Every structure is written in C-alpha cells, then in structure tokens.
Amino acid sequence: MTGFRLAQGGLVDRASPVKFHFDGKAYTGFAGDTLASALLASGVKLVGRSFKYHLPRGVFASGSEEPNALVELRAGAWREPNTRATMAEIFEGLEAASQNRGPSLKYDPLAVNNLLSPFLSAGFYYKTFMWPASFWEKLYEPMIRRAAGLGRNAGLPDPDIYEKTTEFCDVLVIGAGAEGIEAATQAAATGQRVILCDENAPLVPIDLPAGVEFLARTTVFGVYDGGTYAALQRLTDHLPSSNAPRQRLVRIVAGRSVLATGALERPIAFGNNDLPGVMLSRAVGDYVTRYGVAPGRNILLYLNNDDAAGLIPVLHQAGVNIAGVVDARPASSDVVHEAARAANAPVYAGAAIIRATGWQGVSGAKIRLAKGGDLALPCDIIAVSGGFNPNLALTSHFDGKPVWDAAIAAFVPGSLPPCMSVVGKAAGQGLNANIQPVFHSGFFPGKSFLDLQNDVTVKDVKLAEQEGFAAVEHLKRYTTLGMATDQGKTSNVNAIGVLAQTLGKGIGETGTTRFRPPYVPVAIGALAGAHTGKEFKPTRLTPTHEWAAGLGAVFVETGLWLRAQYFPKPGEDWLAAAQREVNAVRNAVGICDVTTLGKIDIQGPDAAIFLERVYTNSWANLPVGKVRYGLMLREDGFVMDDGTTARLGETHFVMTTTTANAARVMQHLEFCAQVIWKELDVSLISVTDQWGQIAVAGPKSAATLAKIVDSPFDLSDEAFPYMACMELTVCGGVPARLFRISFSGERAYELAVPSRQADALARALMQAGAEFGIAPYGTEALGIMRIEKGHPAGPELNGQTSAHDLGMGKLLSKKKEFIGRAMAARPALTAPIRQTLVGLRPVNPQDIIRAGSHLLPVGAPAVAASDQGHVTSAARSPTLGSIALALLENGPARHGETLRVYDPLRGGDFTAIVTHPVHLDPEGHRLHA
C-alpha cells in the first residue's frame, strides 16, 4: 500500500475520482476531499515551508484554523496565495503549489535561517537592522522582503467576479454542527426566519425545516453595529475556473444571533513539534471519519484531557496501529485506560514528549517517563491535544474580553455583542473533561513552537518577557505571535499559558488579546464586489449622449457625469475644435447640453420667502415669468454656489445650481426647509434627471428656436425679453420650459424638455439651425466663453472666496435675513488685502497663461513670501488670445498693473497685465444682438 486511504469509511464519494496537481505532480483524490485530505491520502506529508526559518511543514489541522498547510491555488492571474489546504475542496484539474520555499519544496536554501535562528529571535527586526540607516533601504528591506512573506501574489488584475448582497433574518445561526442545527430548527419552529451559515460544505445533506436558509461554505467573519454581520460565501472556489461569481460578500442583518462555532483544539508544545506528522488529535480523527484517510500507520497520542481519548477507538476501528498514549496527567484516567486497553495501546501516564524525531517528517518521539528515564518510540504521526478552546472570536468583536474558566482550563466568552447568544462548546459546555492544563512539555532546550505560522517558539515568549514585553498585547507585537493569517487560532492560549508560567501568575490575571475582524482572511476583491474599474462609481449620461457620440464628441468626466468636451472635425485638435465652436456661437448659433446643472423645483406659499433667505439677494419682488441670478452663502459667510432661478408661478420656482454642487445645495436647502425654518410652507425636489436642458446661444439663436416653437408662443424681444421665462410647447406639442439666460454672453436661451425628448430636441435644433451654420459645442467652448465673460465657476467658487472676493459684494442685501449674513459681515472677509477676482492678459501675446500659475510683483523673488495670488481659470480665446481669471490681493485697485506670472512646475515665467475680469463686451450689448 502506497497510499493512506482506508479501505472503507469516510464521507467522500469513492465513485468519483478527481485528478489534481500539486507542485506539478499528478494525484488523484475523491469528490468531497479537501486538498489536505487528498494529499494525506497520497502520502504527501511535506506541504510547505515556514515563514521565518523555512522549516518543512505538514498539515496540522482539518479546518480554517490551519497554520501550516498554506498553498497557492490555480495558475496565472487566478493564482491565489496563502490558501489553507484544509479548506480547499479539490476539483478536476486543480493546480496547487507549495509556497515560501526554495527551488524545490524538499531542498530550500533559506532553511539556513534555522541555523541563524539565534539572530532571528523575538524582536529581531528591531534589534538587527538598526544601523547604519542607509543600509535599511538598500540592503535590509529588500533582503527581508525576499525572504519573508508567504505566497506570491499573481501580480495581475484579479480576473474573478465577486458579488455583494444583503440578507435579512430574525435569527442568524453561525455554525452548522449539531448545536447549530438544533438552534436553527428550534427558531424556525416558532416561525422565525433563520439563516444558518457554515464554513464548510456538508459531506452529507443536512435535514433542515422550512424557514431555514442554509449558506454552506460561508464564514461569518465580523460582527458590526445594529445586528449587522459580514459573511464570505465561497461560491465557486471548489469548481474549475469559470465566469460564475467566485465569492459573495453577504451582509446579514439579523434580529439576534446564535454562535454555535464549537471549539478549536490547542496543541502542547514540545521539541521539534513543527515536523510534518505532528497534528491536532481531532484533525487526525476528522481525516479518518470524514475522508477515510489515516494520516499515518503508527500514531502516537499525546494528551492531557479525556476528550481526546475519543480518537483511540476511531483509530482502532480503522485498523490503524496506536504506538502509545502519552498522558501528561500523573494518573491518566479511566477513560483513557479503558480505551487504550481495548486498542492494545500502552499508556504512559504522567509522561511528556520531549521532542519529535525525524528528518522532514516524524519518525518517532522521545518521551520522558513519569518515574524518570527516557524512552524512544517509533511512530509516523504524533496526534496532540492540549485541550479545546471555545471558538469565541466573534464574541470579542464588540470589545468583549474572554474570561478564563479554570474548571475547564479555557477562555470562555465574556461580554457578548448585543443580541448574541452562545451555545454548546463555543460557550465552554461539555469541554475538556478531566483536563490538567499543560501548554509546554518543557524538557527540550531547542525549538518548541507555539505559533507555527509565524515561527514563534516558547523561547521567544520567555525572551520577550525578560526584555520587558510581559503584557499580552506587547508580547503579541514584539514576537508577532498570533499576527499571521490564522490569527493565532491554535497558538494564542498556549502562549498566554507559557507567559503566565514565566510570570508566575494565573492565566486569568495574565489576560488575553481580543480578536478583531476578519475571523478569516478575506480577498480584497470580495470587499470591492462589482465596484471595480469603471464600475467603481456610477456614470451619469446626459440625455443627448448618444446624439453627441454620433457626432464624434470627445467626452470628459465632470463629477459622475460624462459631458461632451468638444466635437472635433477631421484634422482638428481640441483647441481648434473648441475655438471653432466659440466662433460659431459668437457669429451664428450653437447648442450645448446643460442638463448636468442641478435643477431644484421649489413650490409652496412660502417659496419666495424661502428663496429670500437662502439667497443673498432679493427675490420677493421677482415677477412671474422672470429669471434672476442668485448668490448663495454658507453659514460662515463664504460663497457656496450660484445660479439662476426662474419664477414659473406665484408659488412655483425652478432653481439651477452648478453641476459640481447640485447634491450639496439640495442637502443644504433641505436642511433650511426642514430644520432652520420648518415653519415655512415650502417643498423641494430635485428634477435634474427629469428635464433635459439645452442651451441655444448666438445671434441666430432666436431665429433657430422660432422654427421649432409652437404657435402662439412669441419669442419677440417685447414678449420675451432678456431674463424672461415661460412654459410652452415645441416641435408640435412637446411640453417645454424656455429661459432667456446667457452664460456665453450672447443672445441665448435654455430650453428644457422631458429628458426622454432631449435627444430628439437636439436633432431638431441642429436641423432648424442648419441654414445659419449651427454647431454643437462642448465644455471647452463653454469654458472659453465664460472666461471671456468673467463669470466665476468651480475654480473661483472654491469654498475660500467671499462675495466681495468675486466682486459681488453688492448682492448681499442689507434689508433681509439670509444664510451667512452675520458672518459675511466680518471685516476680514472684505479686507482689501484679500485676493479678489481680476482678469489677466499676457504682455507678450505669444505667452500662454496657465491655471495654477502664481502671481508675483515684477522683480520680486519667486518665494512664497512674494506670492500675491494665483490664476484660477485660463482660456485660449479665438479672438482675444490667452486670457485668464485670477484671484489677486487688492485686485480691483490694480487693473492695468503688470505682474510676473510664475509657473515653476511647467516652466512658465513671464509678465501679464491685470484687467477687469470681463474680457469681452463688458456693456452686454451682445445679449440683445
């Protein structure tokens, strides 16, 4: 027999063989096997190398607490390191590889670290790599990075798909052992909705009543506020790679929870206890009963409690020889004696294992007998049990501190998260019969491991204590004990036990560390879910997006929106296209989708009073059918936003906000209406998405619109002057709103139609304006024209500018209450030294001013102390050349002055003349052209 698969027994499907590869070699297991059980069945004991010393390691446990058997699964971009072989179900074609090793698993040159171990003791980073400082970056860090760490990242984008969902239930039961199934069944019997989660897939179907939703392969890894639990459901990790989602992050909202996670076994430390073949006793039993695999043929048991004696009949019935039972208790117990007698196994009461012997695997053990004297026992597996620890990690996610129960020599749950109860072994019930706590056999001077994953030994703990790191939390950080991917599930309690012995204190006094989420490692991809790449945030498209795309528009992201930036014709770059678009608007007519501006519908008897209070300027006197520009401050007196608001009726207004501030202004207005002035009868709703709005600008705008506006609506200047608005129909009955407002400085209109009609409207306008040379324009042309007109926008409304700074001090009414009124009156907000809005033109027309450049007095040194302001917005006007807006100290008094424009980042250094911010048509004649 070359394999270790038993002739019968286990719950795997022996009719379904599964082929897989480990380190390139082909193996066969059965459906239902984990990688660990299949490798053990094939006689593979060496599965990895340890973190620090690169010592050979084998399978130690049978569940998610596994510290040793970490492997890389799959290949290429799918490669995932640090997967526990005990949790990986095999499937046809699975490729697995050992990790953290040299060229081959058997011969690892870095195992020399083991000889250097006197230098790699507790705190070795802090002690060893101290000087000279210059060595750190060049030598120490690259060396440590190469030698340390576990598996290799794929180094490629994660090709898998992940999902996130939220589930609701009355009762969440965590753990589908007998206790969990019982709790779920009872809760369902009272009509409650139950979710039952288990880390593993059941090897036999579980019989559950209706009302219980069972999530297999689902680990609850965190407990959060308000009865919220985070769980990771592994959907296809047990299947060959496909396009199906790999894992699902399930947020479970539960009225209450029942923790039925059982207990995890802890070992007893002894010399060379990290050799492949040293395993937890229950894991050995699991491999026999679940998988029909005997991890060895001659197994030595080392225990200090009666629970572990259950392994004896299991092995005996499976026909596995028991080399002996080393019982740390002086008299052993009847339970052990009887079981051993039935199995013809010798019992060594009051004995201890000094060390395991063997090269790359256990071949025997040296034991110290109770009456003195040593004995060498041949064996191929040492099954060890130092007792069981309630699996209580989730109970301390709410700051609950486990408490030591001396009667069972284990930590049991302390204060629990709200609405959680703990049942069965997780609560410490029925655990550790007749235990006599032993954490370390104590006779071996060399390495006895506590934390197998981070290579922390008994000696390291003692050394840390000597060096002053005697508090549990200090010990953890100094030695890295319990800080590996297994979070010390099999090592923490033993380390505390050894520390307590060293300190001569009780374990309860010595204390424990608290567990934090996540209970198991969680892939970042699962936390991200679908929110990766372009799906990281939503993309908002304007209603004319397809129309613009059809014209070859280049789009730009503005917040969440994608807006047409410019519409290039063949051979045009962005500047040529934008300048052509500006010329079309200035000389004929252009159209631009302005849907992205925030639109807020404001209605109610007190709507006008409301606007009086949120805007700085006067609103009560605005006639129906008119539009007005409004300025809004924050409570601290600085400018928040601006825009136009139209009065459609006595009690009905439509406000526009800037694109960037739409959501912020909505939130602010809701606060004003619901909190500050809740006595006002006013209602608000965002209608940004409901109305598609298109600007029609240029001297031919009225002529273009006239062709699509239905009769009898009148666009003449007498009937519909500048700053007028009306509700009307266009294109034969489409309801619309028309506003005669202008951002470009030309005669212009903005026409709003229900969003689904906006695309057709854009096409109709293009047709109507064709005879005038109509052109669509994008945000670049829009920007050039608003800078030509000196309108402040995002770069000027930067949250640090006051109305005075923007030249709008006159808009602060002196006759009424408004948000920001008191604080805007602070003298510092109107001081002349403040940086205020000006225009800028280069002295030499060849120079191009760039936004972000700093403004210095001519001849002053380019240092921060000379800085007097900066360029906020810059444009290349087709008619004026390089122009800019800037914020400049005492700006209005300095028109005509020459300044140094300094841009060290991009190499700009030239002079420019300060001007009025309105570069074009300051009298506003073009609005009526």
Nearer to another protein, 337 or 816 (CB): 816
Q: Least distance to another protein from the beta carbon of 665, Å?
A: 13
Q: Least distance to another protein from the beta carbon of 522, Å?
A: 18
Q: Is 273 in a helix, a strand, or coil?
A: coil
Q: Least distance to another protein from the beta carbon of 409, Å?
A: 32
Among 128, 466, 667, 767, binds another protein (CB under 8 A): 667
Nearer to another protein, 230 or 260 (CB): 230
**For the residues of 67-91, what is the DSSP string, one character each?**
SS-EEEESSGGG-EEEEETTT-B--
* Candidate ranges 584-592, 745-753, 755-763, 824-832; the one touching another protein (CB under 8 A): 824-832
Q: Is 817 in a helix, a strand, or coil?
A: coil
> Which residue in 607, 719, 690, 593 sits closest to 653, CA to CA?
607
> Which residue in 114, 81, 101, 79 sits closest to 147, CA to CA?
101
Nearer to another protein, 125 or 671 (CB): 671
Q: Least distance to another protein from the beta carbon of 769, Å?
A: 39
- Check: CB of residue 61 under 8 Å from CB of residue 85: no
Nearer to another protein, 519 or 818 (CB): 818
* Candidate ranges 225-233, 441-449, 728-736, 901-909; the one touching another protein (CB under 8 A): 225-233
Q: Least distance to another protein from the beta carbon of 822, Å?
A: 5
Q: Which helix (H) or strand (E) holds 878?
A: none
Nearer to another protein, 415 or 898 (CB): 415
Nearer to another protein, 226 or 445 (CB): 226
Cβ of 808: how many Cβ atoms within 10 Å?
19
Q: Least distance to another protein from the beta carbon of 34, Å?
A: 35
* Candidate ranges 516-524, 589-597, 811-819, 853-861; the one touching another protein (CB under 8 A): 811-819
Burial (0-12, 13-18, 19+ Cβ within 10 Å), 89: buried
Among 139, 822, 858, 862, binds another protein (CB under 8 A): 822
725-728 contacts: CB < 8 A, separation 24 or more?
Answer: 725/625, 725/626, 725/627, 725/646, 725/647, 725/648, 726/625, 727/648
- Contact between 253 and another protein by CB under 8 A: the answer reads yes
Nearer to another protein, 521 or 809 (CB): 809
Residue listed under structure tokens 């929106």: 561
Positions in 408-427 near another protein (CB under 8 A):
418
Nearer to another protein, 130 or 419 (CB): 419
Q: Least distance to another protein from the beta carbon of 633, Å?
A: 12
Q: Least distance to another protein from the beta carbon of 681, Å?
A: 16
Cα gap 552→98, rounded to integer Å: 53
Q: Least distance to another protein from the beta carbon of 814, Å?
A: 7
Cα gap 295→40, rounded to integer Å: 6
Q: Are strands 321-327 and 298-303 parallel, antiparallel or unpaired?
A: parallel
- Peptide bond preceding 712: is omega within 30 degrees of 0, i.e. cis? yes
Q: Least distance to another protein from the beta carbon of 260, Å?
A: 24
Cα gap 316→569, rounded to integer Å: 86
Crossing angle, helix 779-788 and helix 574-587, to 10 degrees?
A: 60
- Check: CB of residue 556 under 8 Å from CB of residue 743: no
- Peptide bond preceding 518: is omega within 30 degrees of 0, i.e. cis? yes
Q: Least distance to another protein from the beta carbon of 417, Å?
A: 11
Nearer to another protein, 128 or 674 (CB): 674
Q: Is 285 in a helix, a strand, or coil?
A: helix
Q: Are strands 898-903 and 908-915 parallel, antiparallel or unpaired?
A: antiparallel
Q: Least distance to another protein from the beta carbon of 65, Å?
A: 30
CA torsion sign, 619 to 623 to 624 to 629? Answer: negative
Nearer to another protein, 600 or 784 (CB): 600
Positions in 324-343 near another protein (CB under 8 A):
none
- Contact between 650 and another protein by CB under 8 A: the answer reads no
Q: Least distance to another protein from the beta carbon of 503, Å?
A: 32
Nearer to another protein, 673 or 761 (CB): 673
> Which residue in 615, 618, 662, 611 sits closest to 639, CA to CA?
615
Residue listed under structure tokens 């029925």: 430
What are the structure tokens assigned to 571, written together? 């051979």
- Write the binding mask 668 to 697 for another protein: x where contact by CB under 8 A, - elsewhere: --xx--xxx-x-------------------
- Contact between 823 and another protein by CB under 8 A: the answer reads yes
Cβ of 62: how many Cβ atoms within 10 Å?
26
- Contact between 531 and another protein by CB under 8 A: the answer reads no
Q: Least distance to another protein from the beta carbon of 226, Å?
A: 3
- The Cα-based distances of 51 to 36, 99, 345, 874 in angstroms read 19, 10, 36, 57
Q: Which helix (H) or strand (E) holds 549?
A: helix 545-550
- Contact between 140 and another protein by CB under 8 A: the answer reads no
- Contact between 817 and another protein by CB under 8 A: the answer reads yes
Q: Least distance to another protein from the beta carbon of 856, Å?
A: 33
Among 21, 164, 193, 251, binds another protein (CB under 8 A): 251
Positions in 482-511 near another protein (CB under 8 A):
none
- Contact between 636 and another protein by CB under 8 A: the answer reads yes
Report DSSP state, residue 713: -
Cα gap 292→313, rounded to integer Å: 15
The CA dihedral of 293, 296, 298, 303, to the nearest 10 degrees, is -90
Cα gap 752→728, rounded to integer Å: 10
| b/e burial code for range 538-547 (CB count within 10 A of at least 16 → b) | eebebbbbeb
- Contact between 825 and another protein by CB under 8 A: the answer reads yes
Residue listed under structure tokens 């489409």: 734
Among 212, 824, 884, 886, binds another protein (CB under 8 A): 824
* Candidate ranges 268-276, 407-415, 456-464, 821-829; the one touching another protein (CB under 8 A): 821-829
* Candidate ranges 242-250, 265-273, 361-369, 630-638; the one touching another protein (CB under 8 A): 630-638
Q: Least distance to another protein from the beta carbon of 223, Å?
A: 12
Q: Least distance to another protein from the beta carbon of 638, Å?
A: 11
| Binding footprint of another protein, residue count (CB under 8 A) | 30
Q: Which helix (H) or strand (E) holds 775?
A: strand 775-776
Nearer to another protein, 226 or 504 (CB): 226
Nearer to another protein, 193 or 821 (CB): 821
Nearer to another protein, 670 or 921 (CB): 670
Cα gap 796→642, rounded to integer Å: 11
- Contact between 228 and another protein by CB under 8 A: the answer reads yes
- Write the binding mask 153 to 192 for another protein: x where contact by CB under 8 A, - elsewhere: -------------x--------------------------
Among 666, 682, 806, 855, binds another protein (CB under 8 A): 666
Among 29, 58, 222, 227, binds another protein (CB under 8 A): 227
Phi and psi, residue 44, nearest 5°: -85, 115
Q: Least distance to another protein from the beta carbon of 690, Å?
A: 15
Binding site for another protein (CB under 8 A): 166, 224-228, 251, 253, 418, 635-637, 663, 666-667, 670-671, 674-676, 678, 812, 814, 817, 821-826
